[in-house]
């Protein structure tokens, strides 16, 4: 595999499906569906191949591809006989460590399952799957990019593709939901761009070479260069003051906090969960929200460990607010999609708790929670899509007794609910347990307060799931059919992954063996 550009193949393989779709007649609906679904299996197979070949004992990155991409001259200066040429340089730099591996695997899994769930889309199949596959390209790129400009480019691809997927194929309020999504996430992107520009202009400055009295200097977006200059500033780099480091860290926290989302930047997400088509929400809740947490880890924690340490208590408090706020609001919702939306806010608060612990247990717990929630939320919205197709509603006060007509889907819904509330033996338990365990050793009071959300979670999940599946059933639902094969396959697959992670959690924990070592060492040195 050493000579195979596996990272590029994974990232760009959905473009093959887009190319084929461009030459496919728009009225060939069955063929378009087949191409769209089949294309998602290409990166999925490649990711599984890479996952099996990944060496857990490997420190740093196990796979890497780095090529010069953009190298533009800025100006040339002469001083005392020494000529200096200035450039701005961005590389096509992809890399894979344990953190990226797990999130790329999650993306590949949810991508395939969401493609299956797209059978409920009613119009413009060709355009839909082109945007769907473009979104997949952006998600893979975000989790593997190691150049700030490349990361930003892939991040914006996901923003544009998601905007159109919501605005065209959503429900009645789709345009307002898409616009709110664009406004909030566009603001986050602007703040991220400012932070990245400051990093490139200071820590990204490096000497490329000095030959025959001429020095080549460049402003680089390479993450490794920036990280090295922040840890050990070179003569050519600018030493960032504590105030500037704090400013950049806050910009990154807000930018990625909007994506996570952190209260009070969450209102856009509620609209998306309620109005976007379920297949798109599967990706949004399962993967796109994780981009916020990933950005905090990759650019917040790793680049600014001392700032992270000083803000750890704030992060923990924000996490508790997310947990309690999301749980309380989920309790009073009558729309099941909003129950799941507020549940996502609550569960992403657990991720913040794990990150704020700043120890190995908490950080691994946060990562496990991200993967677990991605699978569980994808399964929930897969069920929501199938349920809506049959009943044309997802309001809890209009549903009940569906276990009689849909025993299979009701059983899967119950498993998803039990996983969400953290039942031992399912994936939801491990992530929450490790996150709270890590935080309890550092901030006992905040950890105890946060556990209230777990109790409330059990209440709103069981209220929603049991309210749909048991109790009296309206006459109009008598005789509705259970899941079709094309729906049952992704339901069973996601359920299998949730059970697998619950009974064999080391499959997630092992790739993280060396992922946080440098960060924890820098925290220890700083402390």
The predicted pLDDT at position 238 comes to 64
CA distances from 407 to 412, 426, 460, 510, 513 (A): 9, 21, 21, 37, 41
User: Is there a contact between 290 and 106 (Cβ–Cβ < 8 Å)?
Assistant: yes
Q: Which two tokens stand for residue 93?
A: 């730099």
The predicted pLDDT at position 517 comes to 83
d(CA 256, CA 149) in angstroms, rounded, equals 16
Q: Which of 420, 417, 430 is nearest to 503 (CA)?
A: 430
Instruction: Supply φ then ψ for residue 399, to 5 degrees.
Output: -120, 160
What is the helix, strand, coil percentage profile of the chain, to 5?
70, 10, 20
Residue 27, judged by CB atoms within 10 A of its CB (0-12, 13-18, 19+), counts as exposed
User: Is there a contact between 296 and 256 (Cβ–Cβ < 8 Å)?
Assistant: yes
The predicted pLDDT at position 351 comes to 95
- 3-class SS of residue 392: coil
User: Is there a contact between 372 and 285 (Cβ–Cβ < 8 Å)?
Assistant: no
Q: Which of 122, 85, 125 is nearest to 209 (CA)?
A: 85
Q: Which of 204, 270, 265, 278 is nearest to 234 (CA)?
A: 204
- 3-class SS of residue 289: helix
The predicted pLDDT at position 88 comes to 80
Digit-coded pLDDT (tens) for 146-155: 999 999 999 9
Residue 483, judged by CB atoms within 10 A of its CB (0-12, 13-18, 19+), counts as buried
For residue 285, what is the DSSP state?
A: I
The predicted pLDDT at position 209 comes to 59
User: Is there a contact between 362 and 352 (Cβ–Cβ < 8 Å)?
Assistant: no
The predicted pLDDT at position 79 comes to 46
User: Is there a contact between 229 and 210 (Cβ–Cβ < 8 Å)?
Assistant: no
The residues, ordered by sequence, that sit 6+ positions from 298 with a Cβ below 8 Å of its Cβ are: 99, 223
The predicted pLDDT at position 368 comes to 95
The series of mean pLDDT values per 10 residues for the chain, 527 residues long, is 82 96 91 95 95 81 87 64 68 92 97 93 92 97 95 96 95 92 94 94 72 66 87 67 89 94 90 93 95 94 91 94 94 93 94 93 94 96 93 90 91 95 93 93 91 90 92 83 91 96 93 84 65
d(CA 308, CA 294) in angstroms, rounded, equals 14
Q: Which of 318, 312, 370 is nearest to 344 (CA)?
A: 370
Domain assignments of the chain as residue spans, ordered by start = 313-527
């Amino acid at each position: 595999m050493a000579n195979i550009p596996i990272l590029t193949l994974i990232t760009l393989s959905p473009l093959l499906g887009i190319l084929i779709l461009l030459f496919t007649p728009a009225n060939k609906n069955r063929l378009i569906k087949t191409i769209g679904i089949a294309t998602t299996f290409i990166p999925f197979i490649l990711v599984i191949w890479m996952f099996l070949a990944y060496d857990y004992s490997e420190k740093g990155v196990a796979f890497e591809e780095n090529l010069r991409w953009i190298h533009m001259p800025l100006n040339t200066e002469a001083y005392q006989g020494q000529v200096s040429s200035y450039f701005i340089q961005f590389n096509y730099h992809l890399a894979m460590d344990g953190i990226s591996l797990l999130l790329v695997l999650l993306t590949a899994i949810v991508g395939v399952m969401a493609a299956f769930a797209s059978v409920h889309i009613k119009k413009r199949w060709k355009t839909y799957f082109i945007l769907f596959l473009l979104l997949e390209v952006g998600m893979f790129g975000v989790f593997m990019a190691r150049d700030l400009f490349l990361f930003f480019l892939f991040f914006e691809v996901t923003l544009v593709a998601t905007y159109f997927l919501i605005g065209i194929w959503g429900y009645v309020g789709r345009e307002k939901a898409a616009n709110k999504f664009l406004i909030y996430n566009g603001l986050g992107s602007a703040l991220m761009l400012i932070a990245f520009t400051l990093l490139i202009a200071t820590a990204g400055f490096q000497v490329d070479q000095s030959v025959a009295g001429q020095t080549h200097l460049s402003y680089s977006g390479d993450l490794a260069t920036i990280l090295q200059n922040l840890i050990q500033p070179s003569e050519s780099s600018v030493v960032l003051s504590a105030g500037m480091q704090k400013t950049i860290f806050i910009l990154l926290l807000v930018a990625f906090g909007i994506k996570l989302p952190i209260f009070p930047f969450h209102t856009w997400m509620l609209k998306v969960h309620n109005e976007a088509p379920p297949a798109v929400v599967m990706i949004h809740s399962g993967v796109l929200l994780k981009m916020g947490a990933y950005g905090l880890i990759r650019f917040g924690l790793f680049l600014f460990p001392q700032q992270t340490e000083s803000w750890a208590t704030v992060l923990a408090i924000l996490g508790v607010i997310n947990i309690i706020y999301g749980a309380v609001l989920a309790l009073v919702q009558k729309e099941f999609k909003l129950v799941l939306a507020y549940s996502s806010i609550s569960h992403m608060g657990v991720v913040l708790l794990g990150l704020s612990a700043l120890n190995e247990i908490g950080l691994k717990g946060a990562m496990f929670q991200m993967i677990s929630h991605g699978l569980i939320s994808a399964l929930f919205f897969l069920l929501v899509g199938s349920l809506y197709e049959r009943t044309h509603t997802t309001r809890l006060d209009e549903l009940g007794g569906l276990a009689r007509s849909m025993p299979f889907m009701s059983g899967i819904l119950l498993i998803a609910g039990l996983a969400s509330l953290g039942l031992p033996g399912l994936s939801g338990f491990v992530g929450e347990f490790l996150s709270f365990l890590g935080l309890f050793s550092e901030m006992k009071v905040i950890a105890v307060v946060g556990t209230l959300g777990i109790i409330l979670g059990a209440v709103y999940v069981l209220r929603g799931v049991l309210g749909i599946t048991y109790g009296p059933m309206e006459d109009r639902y008598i005789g509705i059919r259970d899941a079709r094969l094309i729906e049952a396959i992704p339901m069973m697959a996601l359920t299998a992954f949730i059970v697998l992670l619950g009974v064999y959690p080391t499959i997630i924990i092992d790739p993280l063996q060396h992922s946080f070592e440098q960060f924890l060492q820098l925290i220890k040195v700083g402390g």
